[in-house]
Amino acid sequence: MRQSRPPLVRMQHIDRELRNNGYPNCNRVARHFEVSSKSIQRDIEYMRDMLNAPIDYDKKKKGYFYKQHWTFLTSAFLDRHEVEALIATKKVLSRYQGTPYYQEISSALDKVLQYLPPSHSENGILDIYSFEQPSSAEIDTKSFMLLDEAIRNSRKVAITYHAPSKQEKTERTVHPYRLHYDHSKSTWYLIAYCELRQATRKFAVTRIRSITPCATGFTIPESFSIDNYLEQAFDQCAGVEEHAIAICFTPYQAQWIKEQRIHSTQKIEEHEDGSITLYMKVSALDAVKRWVMRYGKEAEVVEPEELRDMIREEVTKMVDMYGIIL
């Protein structure tokens, strides 16, 4: 009958005592973990019989010891599903190349995976699931490390930023709060207070052309919450004032809208004819305007009136551009 696997933490403790020539015995280890000495005896037997640990007993010192060098591999305690999860993690991790600690984390996973039995090292999970490789722009490692260090030390940085909307470069001094990865865009953003705009802004890391650390520090305001900031943003854009948004979708388009998580604050009201009204609270009206216009006649902004006006203005410009006579 196969022995049941003891708790890993107990075997790690026993292994540490053995390697340090502590000559542990069942009674002492049992007192440490507040279990019976028979439980510790079974732990040692499992290590010796199932893991082939070279453990022997010294009668004079009344404790156990390693007869020869032996490495206790925690990877031996991973079941099939845990191993496959590590393999999947290794695959997903590839999207973070160039970011701080990518090499360290990747190397740590490789060290665990290399000691797995051959049957565990196969790509079983990758025959069932596939993970899309993002086409994000390559991250400059030096820039990432400078921002990482500035955030950790609460130091301001001077940056040159290229804003594609205006096709211009601006010099700014910012207080870096957080590096944030947006999966939908496969893009890393720096969330920071901008002294030029006197507000918290998001900067795509790939658009930062230069970074110069400053000697002066900063303090993140107690009123600032990264969760609240991200919650108010829409499509990675954030404004100053929060707005209550209501958008009505036709029965046709409602089918797909109901399947999506558009925003963390969203609420959906379903109507008898199959249409829905999407409610959410965001601060970036311009971003909502661009998003809702992709649905054309299938979506109508109900509120706020300011957003309706923005869409009217955009439609008027399109009419003029295409020479449409109404």
The answer to whether 266 and 279 have CB atoms below 8 angstroms apart is yes
* Span of 63-77, 169-183, 244-258 with lowest mean pLDDT: 63-77
Check residue 55 and give its pLDDT: 95
- Map residue 82 onto helix, strand or coil: helix
pLDDT tens for each residue of 228-264: 777 766 655 665 578 899 999 999 999 999 988 888 7
Confidence check: pLDDT of 86 > 80: no
Residue 290 has a CB neighbour count (10 Å cut-off) of: 15
Please indicate, yes or no, whether the overall pTM of this predicted structure exceeds 0.75: no
pLDDT value of position 110:
74
- Identity of the highest mean pLDDT range in 80-84, 163-167, 227-231, 315-319: 315-319
Q: Is the pLDDT of residue 115 over 60?
A: no
Percent of the chain predicted with pLDDT > 90: 44
HEC letters along 162-184: EECCCCEEEEEEEEEEEEEEECC
pLDDT number for residue 72: 80
* Average pLDDT score over residue span 146-173: 89
In this prediction, residue 121 has a pLDDT band, given cuts at 50, 70 and 90, of very low
Q: Confidence class of residue 6 from pLDDT cuts 50, 70 and 90?
A: low
Percent of the chain at pLDDT exceeding 70: 79
CB 177: neighbour CB atoms within 10 A?
Answer: 19
- CB atoms inside a 10 Å sphere around CB 232: 21
Residue 164: pLDDT above 60? Answer: yes
pLDDT of 238 reads 60
Q: Is residue 139's pLDDT more than 60?
A: yes
Tens-digit pLDDT profile for residues 8-62 = 788 889 999 999 999 999 999 999 999 999 999 999 998 898 888 999 999 999 9
pLDDT class of 324 with cuts at 50, 70, 90: confident
Contact call for residues 41 and 26 (beta carbons, < 8 A): yes
Q: For residue 310, what pLDDT is reported?
A: 92
Give the whole-angstrom CA distance, residue 241 versus residue 284. 8
Greater confidence (188 vs 194) lies with 194
**Which DSSP helix (H) or strand (E) runs through 105?**
helix 102-113
296: left (phi > 0), else alpha (psi -120 to 50), else beta? left
Residue 56's pLDDT is 95
Bridge-partner residues for 234, per DSSP? 237
**10 Å Cβ neighbour count for 273?**
9
